[in-house]
Every structure is written in structure tokens, then in C-alpha cells.
Structure 1
Amino acid sequence: MGYMHHQRCEIDRRSVRVRLTQKGREVRDIVATLFARHAEGLEGRGVIGPDGIDAITTSLKRVERYWTDQIRYIY
């Protein structure tokens, strides 16, 4: 879809170099701006502070790790 560019390494064909295209960088910037605006809105309205966001992030990482382990051990 044109968001990433990948190229096999000339020396080691198993290795692949991956980078965002200009189109991919534009999407990344849009998403980063959206996240920043949402974080400011959450803080500004007193919904959640920086500590709360860190706690949620940590919890979501743990859930992701749990699900990954469950999938890994099924097969």
C-alpha cells in the first residue's frame, strides 16, 4: 500500500531493511498528533493524568504479553 519500503540486504539475503516511505511518515505524524491531542484532552478535563496513562499503558502491555503467550503455547 506504499506505507513501508523493504529491501533485502545485499550481503545477507535473510536480512531485510524496513523503513517508512513519505506516505508512511505522513500517517505516523497524523496518528502521533491525534494521540497527543487526546492525551491533552484527557488531562485537561481531569479524566486521567500522566500517572494514569502510564498505568493503563503498563496494563495493556501485560495483557498483550499474556495473549501472545497464550497463542504461542496453543501451537
Structure 2
Amino acid sequence: MTKSVGVHEAKTHLSRLLEDVAAGNEVTITRRGAPVARLVPARDTRRRFGMDHGVFAVPDDFDAPLPDQLLADFER
């Protein structure tokens, strides 16, 4: 559900609006009837250890010495 409120109401009732957003709703804040901001639920941005397990495999030659030309290119 999307709700629209004016700036004054948003300042006055911010705690209530945040409860609505935490419940999964969106709130559009308007100034003189024009939308200026949206309050939306925050995404979980934490990284979880092992979440990419199996996506990448370390090649067998990972620890092999680099070819001389490639080493020279890094030293330029």
C-alpha cells in the first residue's frame, strides 16, 4: 500500500510513518501536492558468509608461477 502525506504531517508523525514502512508499506512525502521523497522498507544489505558457495571454483593452477611476459606487463 502506498500512502501520500505532506511534509508537515511527515515531520509531525514520523514515528507512525516509520512503523507503516517497517510493515512493508511505502509512504510518498509531498510538498504542495508534488512528490519529493519516498519512504520505503530498507533492504537487508548484510553479507552472509558462504552465500556464493559453488558459484566460483578456484582453478587447479591458481598457485602456478605467472608467465614472464605477464610479469613484465605488471612491472611497466
Tell me which structure has the larger Cα radius of gyration: 2
> What TM-score does the superposition give when structure 2 sets the normalisation length?
0.28
Task: Report which of the two has the higher share of helix.
Answer: 1
